[in-house]
Chains A and B, each alone.
Chain A
Amino acid sequence: MKLALGPLLYLWKRAEIGEFYRQIASTPVDIVYLGETVCAKRRPLSGADWAGIADLLAAAGKQVVLSTLALVEAKSDLAAIRRITRNNRYPVEANDMAAVQMRLESTPFVAGPHLNIYNCRALGVIRRAGAMRWVAPIELTAGALDGILESRPEGLEVEVFAYGRMPLAFSARCFTARAHHHPKDHCETVCDQYADGLLISAQDGAPFLVLNGVQVQSARICSLLLDLDTLRDLSVDVLRLSPQARHMPEIIRIFRDAIDGVITGDAAHKTLLRYAPADLCNGYFRGSAGMEQCV
């Protein structure tokens, strides 16, 4: 199984992003998704900056994929996606049908986790449209994945979200701006104050969700380290690890060692607890509520 680093879901400073990917270049990750998927108003890096990072990672032997926005409304959003889909160098991750439509009859693309592929026939459609890899929706159970892959299209790679705070929802409303009493049109990109998102808790203090601009994430961290055998049985090709502000190289190493059998899944899970910034969960994959941790 290969390891992929998912797109950075938060707004970090330009220098932090550069430093982060310089570190990633020397980690045992095989694929790196780059670019903004959450909010078009975030522009910490220019196109040239991203290209520089992409080239650095490609030179380090990583497969680079350029990710695109999940909620596409404005003409400027479409223009941004069109620019990315027209790059001749790197494959593109489509997170909205707009990107699929632009990519049709062009070069292969990655069908991102927000495209809602839940059955064999839908997977066939997206394969015919040119998908080379499919990232399963986060809420898909192992059982449903098994059923879908019974008629897996020839040559299609399958990727599963295996580590990180899960992107659960998108809205037109910016929840981080709302928390600061700013209207979205004058948000002052306050989301840059929260390197791992803004935690909200229930009134009894239990951590509940994380606000990340127009995106809502799980407060708990998904980890499928206890499910590696099942993932292998399903012939999943790629595990996606979602970036967090600290310890990402260590987390990548833990997953690599667990996949390679250097350490057991149980031992890896225990080590991971040191580096995960919140409780872990794997409920979706086990067919339970997403927030639950099943052993």
Chain B
Amino acid sequence: MGHGTPHGQWRVTKLELVCPAGSLPALRAAIENGADAVYVGFRDGTNARHFPGLNLDPEEMREGIRLAHDVNAKLFVALNTNPIPGTWERATRHLHIAADLGADAVIIADLGLLDYAAEHLPGLRRHLSVQASATNPEAIAFYARMFGVRRIILPRVLSASQVKDIVENSPVEIEVFGFGSLCVMVEGRCALSSYVTGASPNVSGVCSPACAVRWEETKNGRNARLNGVLIDVYGPGESAGYPTLCKGRFRAAEEIYYAIEEPTCLNVLDLLPQLSLAGVTAVKVEGRQRGPAYVAHVTRVLRSAIDACTANPATYCPDRRWISALDALAEGRQHTLGALDREWQ
């Protein structure tokens, strides 16, 4: 490793692979398949994947940190919802637990929680969650200066050239999403879910929660409703996806179509050399709600791709088998570069 290879300069920006885990088995799957870091959350609304049966209690988190550290992987704890007065103390309590357990970083979105962490736990590394909506160098400068944030996770709304610009102007590390379900909206600036169901990513850590979903069989097919709102209608034989409310078919004027976004998955394998060359520090996989098998597959493919890109960025080309393996796991079984590609916008 690192003995004067012809591409030695690329080692400086070797992308760190950050993978999701909603359980200890998923965490094991991530580190066994080559994740450099794993991110997890506590089993409640303090993180943006507050789903039934998901996430870790403090004892599991202790075990997760041990497992990760045993193989020199890092463990990040997401505390990335916005606490309101009634949930503030829970958030700060969890922050202290994460620090006491030896988490390598906490991922925070909320201004108040960042301020609290900077004051009470200055030695605990702080990453700025995607939920903080930092999309430009001035906003990044604000968070770096006010709270000593060391890494920024960019919202999935920037074009590739904008990402490059931001990295060049950023005093701190930049992490981007590489694979997983695509949020079409600026993360942290979307209240669609609470408008329909009362529960939002910002406050409750959920989007289009399962408890609000109702399926109806009709003679024309299946209706998917979210708190009564008809999100989509599937014809006989048509495969039905989860009714995330921004990925349904609605009527505008005379047309019924995916007015906001179709079910699809972000996949940046094509852009790995550009991201690496731009100086991006880490690539993140979305999906703490996914099972261990999914995490294992996606981690293995991303590991291979990043290693290939690092070994020879100039000739790197995503293997077709990687793409088809990922598409088989992808939402809607299709992928996109999302906002990184201006045509998508």
Q: Within 8 Å of chain A (Cβ to Cβ): is B170? A: no
Q: Within 8 Å of chain A (Cβ to Cβ): is B304? A: no
Task: Tell me if B139 and A98 are in contact (CB < 8 A).
Answer: yes
Q: Within 8 Å of chain A (Cβ to Cβ): is B124? A: no
Residues 123-157 of A contacting B (Cβ, < 8 Å): 123-126, 129, 137-140, 143-144, 147-148, 150
- CA of A74 to CA of B202, assembled, Å: 25
Residues of A near B227 (CB, < 8 A) are 289
Residues of B near A78 (CB, < 8 A) are 136-138
Task: Tell me if B138 and A102 are in contact (CB < 8 A).
Answer: yes
Counting residue pairs across A and B whose Cβ atoms lie within 8 Å, the total is 222
- CA of A118 to CA of B232, assembled, Å: 32
Partner of A203, one of B139, B159, B233, B261: B233
Nearest CB of B to A8, in Å: 19
Task: Tell me if A147 and B86 are in contact (CB < 8 A).
Answer: yes
Task: Tell me if A118 and B202 are in contact (CB < 8 A).
Answer: yes
Q: Which of A121, A129, A138, A178 has the most CB of B within 10 A?
A: A121
- CA of A78 to CA of B192, assembled, Å: 27
Q: Within 8 Å of chain A (Cβ to Cβ): is B231? A: yes
Residues of A near B159 (CB, < 8 A) are 73, 172
Q: Within 8 Å of chain A (Cβ to Cβ): is B200? A: yes
Count of A interface residues, CB-CB < 8 Å: 75
Find the A residue at minimum CB distance from B195. Answer: A290
Given contacts A97-B139, A184-B345, A291-B196, contact A172 B339 (CB under 8 A): yes
Residues of B near A172 (CB, < 8 A) are 157-159, 186, 339, 345
- CA of A137 to CA of B131, assembled, Å: 15
Residues 178-194 of A contacting B (Cβ, < 8 Å): 178-179, 183-185
Task: Tell me if B185 and A171 are in contact (CB < 8 A).
Answer: yes
Task: Tell me if A70 and B165 are in contact (CB < 8 A).
Answer: no
Q: Within 8 Å of chain B (Cβ to Cβ): is A14? A: no
Residues of B at under 8 Å CB distance from A? 82-86, 88, 109-113, 115-116, 132-139, 141-143, 145-146, 157-159, 162, 165, 184-186, 188-192, 194-198, 200, 202-203, 227, 229-233, 246, 249-253, 255-256, 259-261, 339, 342-345
10 A-B contact pairs sorted by A residue (CB < 8 Å): A73-B159, A97-B134, A99-B138, A114-B189, A115-B111, A173-B345, A175-B260, A183-B345, A202-B229, A290-B196
